[in-house]
Each structure stands twice: as C-alpha cells, then as structure tokens.
Amino acid sequence: MQAPRRVVVTGLGAVTPLGITVEEFWSNVAAGRSGVGPITLFDASPLPTRFAAEVKGFEPTAFINKKDARKMDRFTQFAFVAAQQALADSKLEITDANRDDIGCIMGSGIGGIITLESQHKVLLEQGSDRLSPFFIPMMIGNMAPGMISIALNIHGPTMTTVSACASSNNAIGDAFRAVQSGEAEAMICGGSEAPISPIAVGGFCAMRALSTRNDDPATASRPFDAERDGFVICEGGGALVLEERTAAMKRGAQVYAEMIGYGQSSDAYHMVAPDPDARGVKLAMIRGLRDAGVKPEDVGYINAHATSTGLGDASETQAIKAVFGEGAKKLPVSANKSMFGHALGAAGALEGICTVLTLQRGIIPPTINYHTFDPQCDLDCVPNLARKADVDVAISNSFGFGGHNAVLVFKRHVDA
C-alpha cells in the first residue's frame, strides 16, 4: 500500500476582532490583547449580555465587488476575504492545468443567521412578496465555499462542514484527508461565522451560556479561571491553504507547518453538556495522535478549545490529563478564546492559524484574564503573558454541541 502523501500549510488568511490580516491578528494574539467590547451591530440593551467580539473596520466592498458583496451574508463575506488572503499568501497560481484538483471546504455552525433574521422581519412586516430572491442562497451554510469556488473557478472537493463549534476543525481535517489521499492537490479550508445578531445572542443568553460581565467586557472571557461565567460570542473567518508537500516544495512555496494528523469522535451523551467522563474528547485526541504517528510525550503545546464555561474547561482538562498522564501538568495549554471569544464554527480555523504560527515563530500565545486558580483546571495555561518556546508538535482541539470532537495535529516543518 502506498504511504499517505505529506500535507503542508502554505497560506493563511484571517478576518477577526483582532485584525483583518493575519499579521495584525497574530501580533495582537501574541501580545495578549482583547478584542471584546460592547455590541455595536445592533441594540443589545434589552439582553442580559451586551458585549461581544466584533470585527471592526470591515468594509466588504474593499475586498469584494459591490454586486457580489450584496449577495453574501456577512459570514460568507468573512470566508471569502479570508480565502482570498490565504490564496494570495500561498502564491499558488490557479490555472487550467490544476483547477480541477483544487477544492474548498469551510465550516460554519449557524451560517447566514443575519439574513434569516432580517428576511423574517420583512416577511412579518411586508409580506412574502417582499422577500429577497437572494434570501435562500444568502442564508444557506454551503454558500461560503460555493462563492469561493465560483470566484476562483476551482472544481475540486467543495462543501461545508456543520458540526457546531467543531465545524472548522472538521473542515480542515477533511481537506487534509483530500490532499493526503490524492483526491486533491491543494485545498482552501477553514471556517466563518457571523452570529452577532439579536436572535443568536438572545438564544445563547436564553441558554445562560454567555458571560454577563457587562461592566468589563475585555476581561469577561476567562478560560480555566475559577471565576469564569460563560463564553463571549465572536464573529470572523479564517482560512488555510493545504498542499501536497512535494509539489509545494517544488514551486518554492513558503511552508508554515506540516499537518500530520486528524482525530474525531462523538460524546454520544447530551445536546449541549460535555460528557463528565470526557470519553469522547480523550478518544479524539488519542485518534489524532495515532493518525499522526506521534506519542503524547512528543507534543509540546495544546491549543485548547477552552470556552470559559464551567463544565467545558474542566472536562477538557480531565481529558488532557488522561491522555498525557504525568506530563500533562508540564505541557503548555493555552486558550485563544480568552482574547477573541468563541467564534463557534469559525473557532477552529482561527485557532488553527494560531497553532501553525506557534510552530513557525516559537511563541505560545497566552491565556489572558487568568487570575484565580481552579483545582479542576490544574494545567499550565500560559497565564497572561506569551511564552517563547520551540515547539515541534502541537495539537488544536475543537468540540461542539451535540458531542462533536475534532482534533488537528501539526508539526514544525523542516526542509529535509
């Protein structure tokens, strides 16, 4: 049997509350800055939570022609721009010779909910004959990779993964498999989400899932901290370009990291609560490491899912300790969500970018807003300040409502 092909990351793109380029995003993450503030996209005054991590200064027509931008929900716009950035960064030229072998897989948890909400208002106030003919195609979750593939005229595997907050990791993992198996030569992958709307924020408030620290939004996201009181909702999009390594090296591509493993599982336990035994999370990490052919002791960093919820952070800690044993307490485990909140279906893409840059640049991002020790989360969470470290292997965790678990494994790239 032929060995699986090697897969490398050659391009990155990001539209985030901490910047609308990768370099701006990474600079702010490495500096431990918060992108959380009062909601400005709608009047949130009636809600228990009135803050979020919004993408500031994003003008779609600066990146997308006006006609096309008007046909896209905000989540599609984020995905489209992030994909454009990643492709440009990779310097991968799309030609008639390769366009059939390049695809796009993007994840999104709730897709075009802003369009759904606005068009429902039209229906109630003006009647069905006033609904936009673009309502359905703007709303549906597959339109992000659809619009990307149309714009780029690429014909490889193209779809959306929908597994709640694991969506991006599943998208990246499925793209990895497509390149690894030879189904594609290159894939644009990641995820996007635009959930800062009255119905989405109101729905999470109804679940009591969100932090209510309205007096100090910047410190509201507190993963692993004993005083955490819920997550902070975030919008944005992230994209990576994955390529077969030999071809990428042959064309002189910049390589950020090599992707070496992908593991997934189901908790099969509850709609929204994590399994108290963390069985599914442990299984996904074990499968990811097995797929990558590395041992737990080879891992030098974990980019945690860590949403700043009481049960979730404790469950992930339990799983990490089960998989990594005595080495768990010495293993750096940090939470990007402390800085930009929880981007739901886009979270894994943004955190995947951070994981890849950790490997390339030797900087582990911090978990900010960490002040009070929780004995249920007794890990080295890289509190408050970034840390210089040469990391050879890193994993990125994402877990979603419904019990979906997806783990990505990357390693530092060497030319040999």
Model confidence pLDDT, tens digit, residues 188-208: 999 999 999 999 999 999 999
Kindly report, residue by residue over 314-350, the tens digit of the pLDDT.
Answer: 999 999 999 999 999 899 999 999 999 999 999 999 9
Identify the pLDDT of residue 151: 97
Domain-embedded: residue 150: yes
Q: Tell me, yes or no, whether 316 and 353 share the same domain.
A: yes
Identify the pLDDT of residue 416: 65
Low-confidence ranges of the chain (pLDDT < 50): none
Q: How far apart are CA 323 and CA 285, in angstroms?
A: 7
Kindly report, residue by residue over 350-372, the tens digit of the pLDDT.
Answer: 999 999 999 999 999 999 999 99
Domain boundary among 200, 231, 250: 250
Identify the pLDDT of residue 177: 98
Distances (CA, A) of 179 to 4, 173, 278: 9, 10, 31
Domain boundary among 231, 250, 269: 250
Handedness of CA 171, 116, 133, 14 (dihedral sign): negative
Domain-embedded: residue 216: yes
Distances (CA, A) of 406 to 4, 169, 254, 289, 346: 20, 6, 27, 12, 13
DSSP 140-200: STTHHHHHHHHHHT--S-EEEE-BTBTHHHHHHHHHHHHHHHTS-SEEEEEEEE---SHHH
Domain-embedded: residue 416: no
- Could you give the residue numbers annotated as active site? 165, 305, 342
Its pTM stands at 0.97
Q: Tell me, yes or no, whether 198 and 240 share the same domain.
A: yes
Q: Tell me, yes or no, whether 232 and 379 share the same domain.
A: no
User: Residue 135 belongs to what H/E stretch?
Assistant: helix 135-139
Q: Tell me, yes or no, whether 128 and 163 share the same domain.
A: yes
Q: Tell me, yes or no, whether 184 and 216 share the same domain.
A: yes
Residue 355, SS3? helix
Domain boundary among 250, 285, 306: 250
Identify the pLDDT of residue 4: 86
- Domain of residue 133 covers 7-250
Task: Give the helix, strand, coil percentages of the chain, each rounded to 5.
Answer: 40, 20, 40
Domain-embedded: residue 301: yes
Q: Tell me, yes or no, whether 233 and 272 share the same domain.
A: no
Q: Select from 353, 377, 357, 352 the least CA-distant residue to 367.
A: 377
Q: Tell me, yes or no, whether 42 and 119 share the same domain.
A: yes
Domain-embedded: residue 147: yes
In CATH, what number is assigned to the domain containing residue 235?
3.40.47.10
What value, to the nearest 5°, has the Cα angle with vertex 98 and ends 94 and 104?
70
Q: Tell me, yes or no, whether 187 and 276 share the same domain.
A: no
Q: Tell me, yes or no, whether 228 and 341 share the same domain.
A: no
Number of domains in the chain: 2
Q: Tell me, yes or no, whether 227 and 284 share the same domain.
A: no
Q: Tell me, yes or no, whether 206 and 288 share the same domain.
A: no
Domain-embedded: residue 256: no
Q: Tell me, yes or no, whether 71 and 209 share the same domain.
A: yes
Domain-embedded: residue 121: yes
Number of Cβ within a 10 Å radius of residue 286: 17
Domain-embedded: residue 50: yes
Residue 99 DSSP code:
G
Residue 30 DSSP code:
H
Distances (CA, A) of 339 to 101, 193, 221, 331, 368: 37, 17, 7, 21, 7
